[in-house]
């Protein structure tokens, strides 16, 4: 199990490993209010769909602590308002919405109790979401390891490790499992512009674990794939439509196209909580557009001319036809995706 601690709730506070400061500084961002959690999600103190979901759940717990001094009616009203704020903190990661829906359900089912008792119920639910993610990640890793050949050279994009979850990882969790099981693997990590999660976070995790790896510029991936130097591509997901279309960090779609041309297996690795059964295709996924400064600056230093217009989508959508399979905690979903993904709802 990874020693990296991304999220911890203790002393009525939420401690989030500040991923804006890695790899140079290992610091925790302390959340004492739900507004702190809202900021942490928006500013990417915490990122990665499963980690965002867990953080948001604890944000609801902090809201209950904040509002406990109010009478019951006011408490409930303010709690729903806090849930709405957290629900809308980022638009693409479906785990966020899933976690808040669970917390709202607990609130609704226990609204007749005293506020202190409601707080305890919410705390229990947030703890369950946290623990379930760890358990889910381990199952995903075990299923995923079954498709990793001995001596595999793996390409990954963005960060899908312990930092993106509550402590093990999705795509990087599969890589971890393969390494722990004794497979002689090698990993190429895309730097992942513009926020460089691959360079700052994945490379750091790989180094922490001692997994043989190299960091590459995003544009190097096509050459490696063309030259037959990649056996397998493993990436995460922020939302999966019921037909298998998948939203993931910008640059994923491009990788999938090149992989398809050169016949390289391309797998999505994600928990079933990332599947949005209510949407039919990737066309319905709202893509977050982030600030121009993420592209025009690196670590606060301007690298582009003043006044240049910028298009900065955080995610892109990979069509199901480009995907070999979707590795989940319930097994590996193969085509036809629409039919087989719906089975996971049963």
Q: Count how many residues are written for the chain.
A: 346
Choose between 299 and 84: higher pLDDT.
84
Q: Which is nearest to 17 in space by CA: 144, 140, 159, 215?
A: 159
Q: Would the CA dihedral through 160, 140, 129, 15 be positive or negative?
A: negative
User: Each residue of 6-58: pLDDT tens digit?
Assistant: 999 999 999 999 999 999 999 999 999 999 999 999 999 999 889 999 999 99
Average pLDDT over residues 297-306: 95
Residue 47 among known ligand-binding residues: yes
What does the pLDDT look like over 204-239, one tens digit per residue?
Answer: 999 999 999 999 999 999 999 999 999 999 999 999
Q: Where are the domains of the chain?
A: 7-138, 143-343
Confidence of residue 3 (pLDDT cuts 50, 70, 90): low
Section 151-164 average pLDDT: 96
Task: Please name the fold of domain 7-138.
Answer: 1.20.120
User: Can 7-138 and 143-343 be said to share one CATH topology?
Assistant: no
CATH 3.40.50.10470 fits 143-343, yes or no: yes
90 labelled ligand-binding: yes
What are the structure tokens assigned to 180, written together? 């722990």
What proportion of the chain, given as a percentage, has pLDDT over 90? 94
Average pLDDT of the chain is 95
Q: How far apart are the C-alpha atoms of 100 and 113, rounded to whole Å?
A: 20
- 249 marked ligand binding residue: yes
Task: Evaluate if residue 127 carries a pLDDT over 70.
Answer: yes
Confidence (pLDDT) at 176: 96
Token code pair at residue 84: 């709405």
The catalytic residue among 38, 238, 245, 316 is 238
Q: For residues 339, 342, 344 and 346, what is the CA-based torsion angle, rounded to 10 degrees?
A: -120
**What is the arithmetic mean of pLDDT over 187-215?**
97
Listed in sequence order, the residues at least 6 apart from 234 whose beta carbon sits closer than 8 Å to its beta carbon are: 144, 154, 155, 156, 160, 171, 172, 174, 175, 267, 269, 327
> Does residue 238 carry a catalytic annotation?
yes
Q: Is 59 annotated as a binding residue?
A: no
Considering only CA atoms, which of 200, 206, 133 is closest in space to residue 175?
A: 206
HEC string of the chain equals CCCCCCEEEECCEEEEECCCCCCCCCCEEEECCHHHHHHHHHCCCCCCHHHHHHHHHHHHHHHHHHHCCCCHHHHHHHHHHHHHHHHCCCCCCHHHHHHHHHHHHHHHHCCCCCHHHHHHHHHHHHHHHHHHHHHHHHHHHHHHHCCCCCCCEEEECCCCEHHHCCCCECHHHHHHHHHHCCCCCEEEEECCCCCCHHHHHHHHHHHHHCCCEEEECHHHHHHHHHCCCCCEEEECCCEEECCCCEEEECCHHHHHHHHHHHCCCEEEECCHHHEECCCCCHHHCCCCECCCHHHHEECCEECCCCCCCCCCECEEEECHHHCCEEEECCEEECCCHHHHHHHCCC
Phi and psi torsions of 86, nearest 5°:
-65, -40
Q: Based on the number of CB atoms within 10 Å of its own CB, is 248 exposed (0-12), middle (13-18) or buried (19 or more)?
A: buried
């Amino acid at each position: 199990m990874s020693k990296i601690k991304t999220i911890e709730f203790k002393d009525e506070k939420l401690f989030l490993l500040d991923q804006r400061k890695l790899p140079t500084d290992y610091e925790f961002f302390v959340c004492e209010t739900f507004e702190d959690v809202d900021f942490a999600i928006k500013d990417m103190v915490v990122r990665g769909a499963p980690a965002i979901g867990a953080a948001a759940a604890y944000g609801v717990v902090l809201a209950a602590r904040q509002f406990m001094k109010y009478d019951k009616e006011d408490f409930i009203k303010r709690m729903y308002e806090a849930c709405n704020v957290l629900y809308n903190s980022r638009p693409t990661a479906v785990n966020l919405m899933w976690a808040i829906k669970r917390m709202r359900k607990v609130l609704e089912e226990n609204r007749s109790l005293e506020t202190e008792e409601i707080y305890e119920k919410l705390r229990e639910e947030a703890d369950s979401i946290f623990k379930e993610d760890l358990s889910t990640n381990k199952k995903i890793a075990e299923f995923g390891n079954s498709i990793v050949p001995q001596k595999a050279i793996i390409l990954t994009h963005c960060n899908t490790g312990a930092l993106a979850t509550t402590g093990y990882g999705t795509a990087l969790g599969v890589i971890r499992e393969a390494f722990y099981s004794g497979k002689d693997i090698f990993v190429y990590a895309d730097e992942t512009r513009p926020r460089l999660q691959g360079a700052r976070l994945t490379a750091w995790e790989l180094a922490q674990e001692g997994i043989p790896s190299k960091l590459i510029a995003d544009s190097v991936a096509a050459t490696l794939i063309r030259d037959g130097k990649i056996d397998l591509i493993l990436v995460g997901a922020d939302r999966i439509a019921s037909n298998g279309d998948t939203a993931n960090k910008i640059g994923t779609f491009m990788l999938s196209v090149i992989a398809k041309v050169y016949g390289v297996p391309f797998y999505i690795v994600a928990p079933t909580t990332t599947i949005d059964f209510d949407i039919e295709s990737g066309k319905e996924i709202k893509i977050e557009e982030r600030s121009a400064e993420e592209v025009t600056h690196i670590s606060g230093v301007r690298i582009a001319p003043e006044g240049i217009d910028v298009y900065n989508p955080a995610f892109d959508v990979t069509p199901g036809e480009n995907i070999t399979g979707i590795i989940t905690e319930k097994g590996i979903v193969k085509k036809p995706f629409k039919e087989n993904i719906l089975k996971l709802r049963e």
